[in-house]
Structure 1
Amino acid sequence: MADLLHVAARLRALQNGQAVPIVSQRQMVIQPHARILTLLSMAGEDTSVHAAALGRFGEPARIRVVADPRRRDDQYALLRWLLPFFEEYYAQCRAEGTFPQIWVSSAGALGHLDTLADRLRFTDEADIQRLGNLWTYAGERSPVAGQQALISASGALRLHYATGQQEAEDEHLLALLTWIEPPPGRDIYAAVATAEATPMGVKTDPQFDRLHLQPAITDFHNAGSDAERAFHQTRIQQMLEGVIRPIYTATQRAMALLSAPRWQANPALEELAEQESGEFARFMLARDQGHRLPYRDSPKVGAMKIAARERAIENVKAGMLRHDRAARERGVVKGGVLRGQLADVREHHLGPRWFEYDLVLTSRQDGLHLRPGDKLWLMDGRKLSLQITGIERNGPFTWVTGRVGEGKNAAKKMSAGPTLDFGPGGPDWRGLGRALGQMKTRLTHAPWTHSDVLPAATPSRRAMPANLRAAVEDLT
């Protein structure tokens, strides 16, 4: 059903010829000191950096271009140029007790930065390794739900707007921006087609490579003097600046749109920012203590990272359901959130000073995902839990009865009439640490499934049944 809501928004955008907002609250933290990083790689060289543009929101880009990133010394010179900016930025965030944030143009650029970080960590140059380590923080955080360290401008805009094109086409940042702010008096499809002709990822246009860039690089290598070589290097720089500046500018434009006052505050982001600050502090402390970043995680570390990511998904979802109105409505439509009118409060006197309370709610929701025994929490106001004891469908209404767990004093003061939302409990970020501690204890010794030694065979003492199929069917 959530997909249906998104389809409806896209149909409205298609009808209007302009993207439509799908939320009213901001969906991510925007650090005022965030850095915009735009990288271009050479075709066929996915771990190269041909050109780099770096700057802060509202500032012009600092640009560095190398004539041929396949020349190791030139490539490393560009990376060494970037290193002081990130060392200073990370040190500043650490001193302020906050976290760094890097903005790139698209998911492709995000993946390129992550791949570069892995590659640079294992070079034989200490300063290049240092840059790879710093970038690894952002790269490792990128797949974690709710992370705020590495943001793609196209992904951030997609959380706020729906366009009239396919979701994959929204990854082209300039086309997405054209849907959001279409040029007046011009057909939206013609405007988007024009925008799509401008590269917005980490690669240059193949025709541009064939007709202009490759001949210039060939001339650079065939130059007979330093002056001629410098001339061709300047040509290459001017060519690539013409490619990288529009990408950097489009990322700035995306940040400006998302920083506008139209987006209301989202209290859920405060917890995410606090979590990100803690993750960054732990990452930097581990680097100070000399812990290496391995190329591949051990089975134990991999299992703990998977568990942490699963908990992060649950916590982010729970936080958004409580504080983000659009997420709450999607939860109601999908049936994960019970929205019902309080019909009755039943008091049961079980003994001296021993009372239990049942709440009876009526809901018009068609797709409620509820079963007896489920535990729900009041999502606004008082801390009150409800364990579902009865569900009955009566005409257009669903009658839901639940026994109050926590919050009995609040329940006895309630009266019929108000509409209440019940859903999963609030985010438990501290519970993640406890869960990982338990996993660490359990994984002290690797299970046989992750070792080279198989356990000894243990023959069954029970005789094999004459009819195995019949024996299995009897189990059901």
Structure 2
Amino acid sequence: MSLISTLARMEAVEAGRAQPLATVRHRHLAERPLVFVPLTTAGEAGAPLGALVGTDPDEPRLLVVPQPRDRDLRFAFLAELADEILPYVDSFADGVEAVEKNETDPETGKKVKVEVELCSDAPQLILPSRSGVEYVRLLGRSMRFRRTAEQDPETPFPAPPRVPLLGRWLTHFGDRARVPGSSLLLAATDLLNRHWATGQSSLEDQHLGALLAWIDVPDGESGAEAALRAELGRDAAGQLLCPPAGPATDPAFDNRLLAPAIERYDRARQALGTAQDGASADERLGELHRAEREIRRLIATQLKPTWDAVWRAVELLRELPEGARVPDRWTRDRWSFTAHRDRVTAGEPPQPRRDDAVTAARKLAAREQAQGQLEAQEALDDPLVLAGRRLTGEAFVAEVVEVTMAWTESKRPAPRPLLTVRTEDRPHLGEGVKVYRSLDGKPQTAQFAGHDDDGSMVLRILDRMGRGKEPAEGSVPEKGERLAWTLFEHEARVGAKLPDPEETPWTHGGPPRADVAELPDAVTPEDVL
């Protein structure tokens, strides 16, 4: 936790409400996100209980599994979920724009520009909490290798037709959520925690109701009081006023309400199976429908408060202006979505259970690069984030007090102007250390050349001044300008090129075997009740 975050939390405790950690929104919010609020059976992470899903805050779709131990009912739930999510995903697949991209010519090995398709927008899924994001990843893992009757007529317990496709998409969203700065799959709690600091612990910040209580404080209360009521407040029946943000349920709800309702449903289903004539069958069918409606009503009472809380979080975040570099990161999400769309359209197999050594190394390197780039871009977009880097000596804001022109001593002299700057910050500068500032969206490099007699710093500009002997207009700061400089690079460096998977050394398992077909995931305790 940075010093700025610690100070903000202390101020939140004193003020009784959350304090801002950012002045802009550092994540993309789609105009039409899909909110997904899931619930699972207690103690069984792989057994869905219900969900609210949709793009309209006033018209959510309620999905319920009245008996989670029934495989057919679970498959019916997944089929209904696919009917909600896949049309939303497909609605972004056809809108494309033509862009130029550098690719390597296989014959010459040279970089050439080719025109490719890029989806003009991409879907966005928002879950209540981080555990919900993990649940999406688990769903994708358990669904993408399922076989349908159309694929394999002899497969036991075939899945509904579109369930494996939904598993592939949820796996992609789950993998993308691990990339820092990605916005395809988001948790509402992570979004709020990135932009506000509360007066409670990081663990308590994972409760969406308590987190919103600090940010959107009710009149006449403090954030601590409202958060305590959100966490522990119960009604006359002993049920939580603000149920957990899923996918877990409250034990009091499970024991007092849900378990008896499911038991009534089981008895009604058994009675229907033993009906002797049409009249008794109709009566018992009505009892079964009433038992199912009661389960749906109970599940809705647990999901609706969280559904409303997620949309309230979206409203609060929309009030913040979007950061200048957020669209660039969303463009990378669009490339990711387009690439997976193309893989699905081409009929490629599902994502493997386990990445080969080269693919895993590439993913890790890409995530490390994305993390460094995200931290730099957030600091450049937001003076409040930059203040935290200034406190740690990784950046400074200085006023230019003098500009002295100088050139290199070579046959073709190049400009190397010296800037005398004055700052009250204490950057960790040493001889020859490079610093960077943003010039027209690109980093300009300067080198620390020492201190002046009065203690001012001297910086030597090194690049982005054009090719002439005289610097290009606007490329050299003028006297009186106040500029932000960073000791960290604005663009993360690309690591060493990795070999192709076919050239994986034996120390890392050797090349992937093409003669071994991809098998479904092994059955685990999470998959079976």
TM-score by length of 1: 0.85
Map of 1:233-312 to 2, 5 A cutoff? 233-260=292-319, 263-291=320-348, 292-312=350-370
Deviation at 1:213, TM superposition (A): 1.1
CA-CA distance at 1:140 after TM superposition:
0.8
Q: 2:421 maps to which residue? A: 361
CA distance in 1, matches of 2:342, 2:31: 24
Q: How does 1:16-415 map to 2 (within 5 A)?
A: 16-96=15-95, 97=119, 98-124=121-147, 125=159, 126-197=161-232, 198=242, 199-223=244-268, 224-225=271-272, 226-260=285-319, 263-291=320-348, 292-349=350-407, 350=409, 354-357=413-416, 358-366=418-426, 368-381=427-440, 385-392=444-451, 399-407=457-465, 409-410=471-472, 414-415=477-478
Q: Compute the displacement of 1:375 (Å).
A: 3.2
Distance 1:34 1:306 in 2: 28
Q: Deviations over 1:114-167 (max 9, x none)?
A: 111111112232522111112112111111111010111111111221111112
What SS is found at the alignment partner of 1:94? coil
Residue range with higher mean Cα deviation, 59-68 or 302-311? 59-68
Deviations 1:343-387 (A, max 9, x none): 443333525651442333333222x23344443332245866334
2:301 & 2:133 partners in 1: Cα distance? 21
**1:398-436, Cα deviation, whole Å (9 max, x unpaired):** 6243352332615885444322222344447xx86xx68
- The answer (yes or no) to whether the contact 2:20–2:196 under 8 Å persists in 1 is yes
1:347/1:355 contact within 8 Å kept: no
Query: Tell me, which stretches of 5 or more residues in structure 1 are unaligned?
Result: 454-476
1:323 deviates by 2.4
- Of the three residues 417, 425, 438, the one matched with 2:480 is 417
- 1:181: Cα distance to partner? 1.8
For residues 257 and 412 of structure 1, what CA distance do their matches in structure 2 show?
Answer: 39
How do 1:461-472 residues align onto structure 2 when only pairs under 5 Å count?
A: none
Q: d(CA) in 2 for partners of 1:145 and 1:413?
A: 33
What is the rounded CA distance, in whole Å, between the counterparts of 2:436 and 2:77 in structure 1? 54
* More displaced 10-residue stretch of structure 1: 219-228 or 236-245: 219-228
Q: Distance in 2 between matches of 1:13 and 1:293?
A: 44
Equivalent-residue separation in structure 2 for 1:338 and 1:416 (angstroms) = 17
Letter in 1 for 2:71: R
The amino acid across from 1:445 in the alignment is E
SS in 1 for 2:44: coil
Structure 1 380/15 Cα, relative in aligned 2: closer, same or farther at 3 Å?
Answer: farther
Q: What is the alpha-carbon distance in structure 1 between the residues aligned to residue 7 and residue 168 of structure 2?
A: 43
Give, in angstroms, the shift of residue 283 of structure 1.
1.2
Distance 1:382 1:364, change over 3 A: same
Deviates more, 1:228-237 or 1:11-20: 228-237
User: 2: distance between equivalents of 1:315 and 1:26?
Assistant: 16
Q: What secondary structure, in the 3-state scheme, does the structure 2 residue paired with 1:271 have?
A: helix
Q: Please identify which structure carries the higher helix content.
A: 1
Once structures 1 and 2 are overlaid, which stretch shifts more, 183-192 or 301-310? Answer: 183-192
More deviation in 415-424 or 106-115?
415-424
* Higher alpha-carbon deviation: 443-452 or 100-109: 443-452
Give 1:238 shift. 1.2
User: In the aligned structure 2, how far is the partner of 1:60 from the partner of 1:398?
Assistant: 62
Rounded Cα–Cα distance in structure 1 between residues aligned with 2:164 and 2:429:
52
CA distance in 2, matches of 1:3, 1:264: 23
Q: Is the 8 A contact 1:40 1:49 kept in 2?
A: yes
- Cα distance in 2, alignment partners of residues 239 and 89 from structure 1: 27
Contact between 1:174 and 1:195, CA under 8 Å: does it hold in 2? yes
CA drift at 1:239 = 1.0
Give the CA RMSD over aligned residues: 2.6
Q: Which residue of 1 aligns with 2:238?
A: none
TM-score normalized with structure 2 length: 0.77
Q: Matched residue pairs, number? A: 442
Structure 1 residues 344, 305: closer, same or farther in 2, change over 3 A? Answer: same
Could you say what secondary structure the match of 1:49 adopts?
strand
Cα distance in 2 for partners of 1:347, 1:412 equals 13
Counterpart CA distance in 1 for 2:322 and 2:503 is 46
C-alpha distance in 1 between matches for 2:126 and 2:437: 36
Q: Give the % identical residues.
A: 25
1:239 alignment partner, SS class: helix
- Counterpart for residue 105 of structure 2: none
Amino acid at match of 1:265: E
Contact 1:371 1:388 in 2 (8 A): no
Tell me the equivalent position of 1:461. none
- CA separation in 1, counterparts of 2:412 and 2:221? 74
Seen in structure 2, the aligned counterparts of structure 1 residues 7 and 372 have a Cα distance that, compared at 3 Å, is: same
Taking a change above 3 Å as real, the CA distance of residues 259 and 415 of structure 1, as seen in their structure-2 partners, is closer
Cα pair distance change 1:32/1:386, threshold 3 Å? closer
Uncovered stretches (5+) of structure 2, i.e. residues with no partner:
96-118, 148-158, 233-241, 273-284, 512-529
Q: Which moved more, 1:81-90 or 1:166-175?
A: 81-90
Residue 10 of structure 1: aligned partner: 9
- How big is the shift at 1:448? 4.2
Are the equivalent residues in 2 in contact too, given 1:359–1:404 (CA < 8 A)? Answer: no
